[in-house]
Amino acid sequence: MTVALSVMTPELRLELTNIPVPILNAAIFRVCRVFFWESEVWKYTYDNGLDWTADTPALPVPVAGTDIPTKCMVKRVDQVKYDAGGDSWDTEVPFLTRDELDRKRPRWNTDTGSSPTSWTHGNDGAAIIIPMTASTITTGLLIRSVIAPIFTLVSDTLPDFLYYEFEETLKAGVLAQLMKQPGKDWTDLRMAQFYGAAYVAGEKKAKSRGQADFGQPKDTMAYGGL
């Protein structure tokens, strides 16, 4: 189930005297994007298994609307699982920094193999698997990432469990941002400070929610082995 962002507009307009709807909508989009980007509360396991392609160590790029929800982007990889054909996901492969790999596996960037042993970050920030697979393994990877929305229309939606959990925080963020604008009919610096504090508290709650649901953000992945 989803909830359209437009449900916030009538209530927010009551608090913001004479505000033009386009300005209000732009603030709603901006606050939602920043909230989910900073809090990392929205973690999503891709809808589809992705191919582990030979000679390409970087994880496949997810497709919005296919692998992750439409109008969303990946902030970072949170966990990767490897399907060797038996749907076994209980073996974790550790994250290693590039310096650690240089010490423990000097040829890590050219080695090939049939099972992943670790993962790290590439030069472009993308997650890469060590070693590279020697042959293409179809639907070998199941990925969970921290994602954030890219809203453009008030008809755009959020999952209902996220919207209702953080509805008041999102509204507070919008009100704080708009009420601190100087010289407007809706300017109210005192209330902007009040709503700003409420937003900060809600963002902290969201970070705690993400940690409680998924554990501390960790650079690990699990695989089934061959």
Nearest-10 Cα torsion for 110, 115, 118, 121: 60
Q: How far apart are CA 132 and CA 110, in angstroms?
A: 7
Would you give per-residue pLDDT tens digits along the chain (226 residues)? 899 999 999 999 999 999 999 999 999 999 999 999 999 999 988 877 777 766 666 776 778 888 888 889 888 888 777 776 655 565 667 788 889 999 988 888 888 877 778 888 777 667 788 887 777 776 677 788 889 998 888 788 999 999 999 999 999 999 999 999 999 999 999 999 999 999 999 999 898 877 766 544 444 444 444 3
CA dist 165 and 161 (Å) reads 6
User: Which residue's entry shows tokens 């994602």?
Assistant: 147
225 neighbors 117 (Cβ within 8 angstroms):
no
85 secondary structure, DSSP code: S
| Domain residue limits, the chain | 2-41+150-213, 43-148+216-223
Q: Extract the tokens encoding 224.
A: 């089934």
